[in-house]
Amino acid sequence: MLTPEFRLEQTAAYVIVHIKAPYVKASNVDWYLDAHQFKFFVKPYFLRLTFEAELVEDGRESAQYDIESGWFKVQLPKAVAGTEFTDLDLHTKLLARTPQARAQLPPSIEVVSSTQDEDDHEGMPDNGYEWEVEQTLPEPSLLASSTSYGFNSKYSNCLSNLQHNGSAELTMLADPDKASYTERLATRLATEHAGFDEDYYLAELFDTEDAILPLLRETTSSQPSADDDTATTLSAASSWRCYSRACSQQACYSSVCRYNRIDWTLTPAQQQQLASLPKRELLVERAATSGLMLTALDLLLAYHHEMRVCGGDLTPESSTTIAKVSSTLSVLLPFLSLEDVVLAFCRRSLCFSLHRHWLLTMMAVVDVIEVLRKGRRAVLAAFLSMRSLFMRDEARAILADIYLTDYCVWLQTCPVEAFDSLAMALAAFRISKDEVDLNLPSYDLMKAAILAQENEGVEDNDSDDSDDTGDSDDD
């Protein structure tokens, strides 16, 4: 059976379902309404939608069919008029399993889209998410033997064969299917030390005005300085306006600009992408939610940094750069703390990106903070864009399958509090150039010394020219 294209809207009294089913006979349509569920069937189409709020079959329900356009319009009465039905644009969530099927799951597993009682979070700090305190590592024997990866570490034996047979740059691991956590961490650090190019970084410092500032923002009072640290940059985030001449209001590439100017909703194209995702719920243990959000943060940072570098116009090489900057995709590394995520991103963005500048790295962090504050749909839109990008990259499409597709499904049901909590923790986090351990302050001093030497040379030349002019006048 085929899942038809559909969209939903609502009024105070009805939920209205628009279903595209061309070239069918209206007399052959069967549809069913029962409390939280709506079913629609006409060969070869079948649609089942599950709502959190309640509907009622009381004689007010109706259906119309436009033969020319092939669209059905079905009006479903709300059990309580005025009830707000949420997430009608999150199609994968609506297409997920029924509440009865959820009830049959083992009690030790959490269905992430199910409604949770407040008691479920008893004893957990704040909103139930701890970003600042590093989580406890598994026992060394378990850690050494763990070779799984992907969303919630549920995949294994998927990558080595591909990497050894035509996709040599799929990951930076020698044998991804056999690499333990310790080996992945060691590979990450080794590739960062080998990948940092001193001359490249210094050249970017000298090219700040021409190449970097057009990709950043300026405050209403002054332009950002190359000497700005995280604290200065992030504290000014709320007052930043678009710096680039390429800004085109709602179409501006920058997340801070774009998401502050529009009332965010998913586009029809994005809703179609959601409808095409696997029709399943992902079962996640409660303790794993923080780890999943930290991995999502790593992916968001790499993606928005590339958006900055490319001015919003991603290229065919963008998937390669994102995969290298993200520790999740390059070495399959899970994260244990917020500090680990930000530190790894800062180092890798200064090693593998086209533009390697501290300010650009910090502005990507600002972008992600704003995206997280905007909530589920803004984060989901970024993951849908990432997924489309990687699906077009034949060599790295497998990374979309084991990470991004599942994230696009899970984010639709991830608790809203997780986004708010992570945004607050990231905005409060501070990191300096010294902590990155790439000797960055020395390059700032080197730049200052070179500029000072050049200025002295200019002054000496001016002085010599002045002396020559005086001598000529005496003659």
Tens of pLDDT, residues 331-384: 999 998 999 999 999 999 999 999 999 988 998 898 899 889 888 888 998 999
Structure tokens at 185: 């961490």
Q: What's the confidence (pLDDT) of residue 213?
A: 74
Q: Which of 244, 237, 212, 238 is nearest to 225 (CA)?
A: 212
Q: What's the confidence (pLDDT) of residue 309?
A: 87
280 and 409 in contact (C-beta within 8 Å)? yes
Structure tokens at 371: 């995206």
Residue 333: HSE in the Cβ half-sphere, 13 Å Cα cutoff: 26
Burial class (CB in 10 A: 0-12, 13-18, 19+), 328: buried
List phi, psi (to 5°) of 83: -65, 135
CA distance 350 to 232: 20
CA distance 263 to 266: 10
Q: What's the confidence (pLDDT) of residue 293?
A: 94
Looking at beta carbons, which pairs linking 175-180 to residues 24 or more positions away fall under 8 Å?
Answer: 176/149, 176/332, 177/147, 178/147, 179/147, 179/331, 179/332, 180/143, 180/144, 180/145, 180/146, 180/147
The contacts of residue 193 (CB under 8 Å, 6+ apart) are none
Q: What's the confidence (pLDDT) of residue 215?
A: 72
Q: Which of 253, 294, 269, 287 is nearest to 425 (CA)?
A: 294
Q: What's the confidence (pLDDT) of residue 271?
A: 84
The contacts of residue 341 (CB under 8 Å, 6+ apart) are 294, 297, 298, 301, 335
Sign of the C-alpha dihedral computed for residues 244, 249, 251 and 253 taken in this order? positive
Q: What's the confidence (pLDDT) of residue 129?
A: 65
What is the rounded (10 degree) CA torsion for 456, 460, 466, 469?
-150
Q: What's the confidence (pLDDT) of residue 383?
A: 94
Structure tokens at 329: 């995709």
Q: What's the confidence (pLDDT) of residue 218?
A: 38
Q: What's the confidence (pLDDT) of residue 306?
A: 92
Q: What's the confidence (pLDDT) of residue 378?
A: 87
Q: Which of 463, 389, 379, 455 is nearest to 416 (CA)?
A: 379
Q: Mean pLDDT per segment of 10 residues, for the chain of length 475 residues?
A: 89 94 91 91 92 92 92 94 90 72 42 42 49 48 66 91 88 93 94 95 88 60 42 39 45 48 67 84 78 95 90 87 96 93 96 93 88 89 93 93 94 89 92 92 90 74 58 55
Burial class (CB in 10 A: 0-12, 13-18, 19+), 370: buried
User: What type of residue is 172?
Assistant: M
CA distance 201 to 351: 9
Burial class (CB in 10 A: 0-12, 13-18, 19+), 336: middle
CA distance 157 to 396: 16
Coil/strand/helix, residue 283: strand
Residue 20: HSE in the Cβ half-sphere, 13 Å Cα cutoff: 7
